[in-house]
């Protein structure tokens, strides 16, 4: 790490203290397993190793090696022992079935407001409250007391079984990943087993649902969905969704299996299966106000194929001021390329740039007036393809700059690009647009070739390499990429020309949300020729957009959800009183029904008579929408994107023919 990482001169003077802070954040951010005395004691042990003089006297002349592995292992082992102790205690409390759900007890849920407990007695009080909340949450998810107790008991027993299966490799992996994350969040250690799983995920050859999972507070949690995969096709599975139960639809035993507390590899094995079979997931929606809320998604397993990730297109007509504007929409879920076919010199190898080129040729034949490329949720892919795709819109030219760890800088682009599309262009991005998506959007913005609309992108401006070790593999950040203006993409990402509404605070995810993220910086710009664009154009388009926001019921609906989110996100306590929780749940349902009916009423649509009627309608509609690739009726943000592009086209109908001199 100290020799090959991009920041190989990183200050290591406080590495042990920072590694300890990272361990705490990973293992006990909620402050429920360790006492204040234990934390203070371990902190002193770790900080001692941050004194180079003290270390040199005892061990070596090189302070670079002063990593306190022994204390890391002791702390991790103490955590698992304490987790066993807490779980056994909670199991006994749940089995008694004597929780009083009429009391006014509360749980603090804001980690920043929690304090380390003074002693074991205080810890046990918090363990009891947590188990009480687990039972209450299960009751609110439409279970009676006996069912809820049985569910939570199984969950705790699964947790104990999972802990008992931990071995030296697991402990070592936790310690090493805390060490690598000190350098940056994308450098990591893969144990032999983890390396094997990583390779399987990258190959996309396993038959399953096409989703990457992790464990968060005992819950198997969706990290991302594979573009074109079964999970993505449902349009109802999102990052941060938590899996509670899994059912095998095509087996005789369809009883849902509660997987909270399971090892993640066991959850993956339960989800995987033969192509064509179905699995049903019970999930807690991401960013929900209450973990008792549920959604149920049935997925048909299949092998994720390259063609399923392929670009999709649709042509729509927008009527404006007695004009008919043809908008071509391209949904690009990933920057893909069939490397095997490419290496074998197959002239018909599949790639994102090749597919988009064919679509653009069709758009030209159909006399499309403008193109919108949708990169929302596109987490990247082939850098080669990003460069090729930019070339279709700007002709030959540099796309980005790459800075290596030795300080050398080189520019990249497609020297043989053919300027295929010369009419107006818009690119849609969101917080999950990352890496290659940011390179493409940044180049389009820098050349003033088109407008960028949506939300600030992820901000991943680093490149990693994967090296084999004697045992396992290591992924190391080796370089950073920059825009042709010299501005870094790291942390800041791409800021849209026109920001569209979102239902949640985008700052909660993205590169800037990682404590160890490498900083933003800039380098010298390179020479390039921009396309001509009226400086006042963006301001005009923004004004037109804001006028529509005020009048459009669908956009007002999004703003209402965001307002509700802002009001609830700072909630720092949860009641353990069942009547209070039922009232809160009822209030949420009334609110959801009201804002949906307000939207429907403004659009002269039939309103729902109850929350259940709305839920039934939405469930039926999801099944119908699965076959629609680009759905403007329900995608209010995409719809507004086409309106902005229509304005853009009307205001600039003949400016995108050549670069400005």
Question: Any idea which residues carry the catalytic annotation?
Answer: 435, 446, 460
- Residue 128 CA to residue 109 CA, distance in Å, equals 15
Helix axes 578-602, 120-140, angle to 10 degrees: 50
What's the CA gap between 65 and 577, in Å, rounded?
A: 52
Chain centroid, CA 398 distance in Å: 29
β pairing state of 295-300 and 302-303? unpaired
Mention every residue, 6+ apart, whose C-beta is less than 8 A from residue 535: none
For residue 46, the 8-state DSSP code is H
Residue (of 264, 261, 263, 265) closest to 244 by Cα position = 261
Asked if 484 contacts 526 with a C-beta cutoff of 8 angstroms, the reply is yes
Written as six digits, the tokens of 360 are 């653009």
Q: Any idea which residue has 């569209």 for tokens?
A: 500
Q: Is residue 353 within 8 Å of residue 385, measured between CB atoms?
A: yes
Long-range contacts of residues 233-239, Cβ cutoff 8 Å, at least 24 apart: 233/626, 234/297, 234/299, 234/622, 234/626, 235/622, 235/625, 235/626, 236/295, 236/297, 236/622, 237/209, 237/211, 237/281, 237/283, 237/297, 237/299, 238/285, 238/286, 239/286, 239/432, 239/509
- Under 8 Å between Cβ of 257 and 157: no
| Rounded Cα gap, residues 114 and 109, in angstroms | 8
Contact 71, 42 (CB under 8 A): yes
Q: How many residues are there in the chain? A: 661
Q: Are 525 and 497 in contact (CB under 8 A)?
A: no
């Amino acid at each position: 790490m100290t020799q090959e990482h991009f920041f190989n001169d990183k200050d290591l003077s406080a590495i042990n203290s920072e590694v300890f802070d990272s361990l705490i954040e990973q293992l006990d951010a909620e402050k429920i397993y360790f006492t204040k005395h234990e934390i203070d004691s371990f902190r002193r042990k770790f900080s001692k190793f941050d004194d180079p003089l003290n270390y040199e006297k005892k061990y070596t002349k090189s302070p670079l090696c002063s990593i306190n592995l022994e204390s890391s292992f002791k702390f991790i082992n103490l955590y698992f022992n304490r987790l066993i102790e807490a779980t056994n205690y909670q199991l006994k409390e749940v089995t008694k079935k004597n929780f009083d759900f009429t009391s006014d007890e509360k749980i603090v849920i804001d980690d920043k407001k929690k304090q380390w407990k003074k002693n074991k007695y205080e810890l046990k009080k918090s363990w009891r409250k947590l188990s009480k909340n687990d039972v209450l949450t299960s009751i609110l998810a439409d279970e009676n007391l006996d069912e809820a107790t049985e569910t939570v008991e199984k969950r705790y027993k699964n947790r104990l079984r999972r802990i008992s299966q931990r071995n030296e490799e697991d402990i070592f992996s936790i310690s090493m990943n805390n060490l690598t994350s000190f350098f940056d969040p994308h450098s990591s250690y893969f144990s032999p087993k983890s390396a094997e799983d990583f390779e399987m995920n990258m190959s996309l050859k396993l038959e399953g649902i096409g989703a990457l999972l992790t464990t968060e507070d005992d819950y198997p949690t969706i990290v991302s969905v594979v573009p074109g995969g079964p999970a993505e096709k449902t349009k109802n599975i999102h990052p941060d969704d938590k899996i509670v139960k899994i059912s095998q639809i095509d087996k005789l035993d369809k009883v849902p299996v509660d997987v909270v507390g399971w090892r993640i590899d066991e959850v993956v094995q339960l989800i995987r299966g033969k192509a064509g079979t179905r699995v049903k997931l019970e999930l807690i929606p991401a960013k929900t106000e209450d973990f008792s809320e549920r959604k149920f998604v049935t997925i048909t397993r299949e092998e994720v194929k390259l063609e399923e990730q392929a670009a999709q297109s649709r042509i729509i007509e927008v009527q404006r001021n007695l004009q008919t504007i043809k908008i071509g929409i391209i949904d690009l879920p990933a920057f893909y390329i069939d490397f095997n076919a490419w290496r074998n010199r197959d002239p018909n190898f599949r790639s994102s740039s090749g597919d988009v080129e064919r679509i653009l040729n069709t758009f030209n034949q159909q006399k499309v007036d403008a193109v919108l490329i949708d990169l929302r949720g596109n987490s990247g892919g082939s850098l080669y393809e990003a460069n090729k795709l930019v070339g279709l819109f700007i002709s030959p030219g540099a796309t980005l700059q790459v800075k290596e760890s030795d300080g050398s800088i080189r520019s990249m682009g497609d020297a043989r690009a053919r300027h295929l599309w010369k009419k107006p262009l818009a690119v849609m991005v969101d917080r999950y647009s990352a890496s290659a998506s940011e390179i493409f959007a940044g180049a389009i913005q820098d050349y003033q070739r088109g407008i960028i609309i949506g939300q600030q992108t992820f901000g991943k401006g680093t490149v990693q390499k994967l090296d084999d070790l004697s045992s396992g593999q290591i992924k190391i950040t080796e370089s950073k990429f920059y825009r042709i203006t010299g501005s870094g993409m790291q942390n800041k990402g791409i800021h849209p020309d026109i920001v569209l509404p979102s239902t949640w605070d985008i700052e909660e995810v993205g590169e800037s949300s990682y404590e160890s993220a490498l900083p933003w910086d800039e380098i010298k710009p390179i020479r390039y020729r921009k396309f001509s664009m009226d400086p006042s154009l963006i301001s005009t388009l923004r004004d037109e957009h804001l006028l529509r926001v005020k009048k459009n019921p669908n956009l007002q609906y999004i703003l209402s959800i965001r307002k509700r989110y802002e009001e609830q996100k700072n909630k720092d306590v949860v009641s353990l009183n069942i009547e209070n929780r039922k009232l809160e749940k009822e209030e949420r349902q009334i609110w959801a029904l009201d804002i949906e009916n307000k939207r429907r009423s403004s659009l002269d649509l039939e309103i729902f008579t109850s929350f259940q009627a709305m839920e039934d309608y939405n469930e039926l509609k999801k099944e119908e929408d699965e076959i629609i690739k680009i759905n403007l009726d329900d995608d209010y943000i995409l719809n507004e994107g086409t309106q902005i592009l229509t304005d853009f086209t009307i205001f600039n109908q003949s400016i995108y023919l050549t670069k400005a001199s």
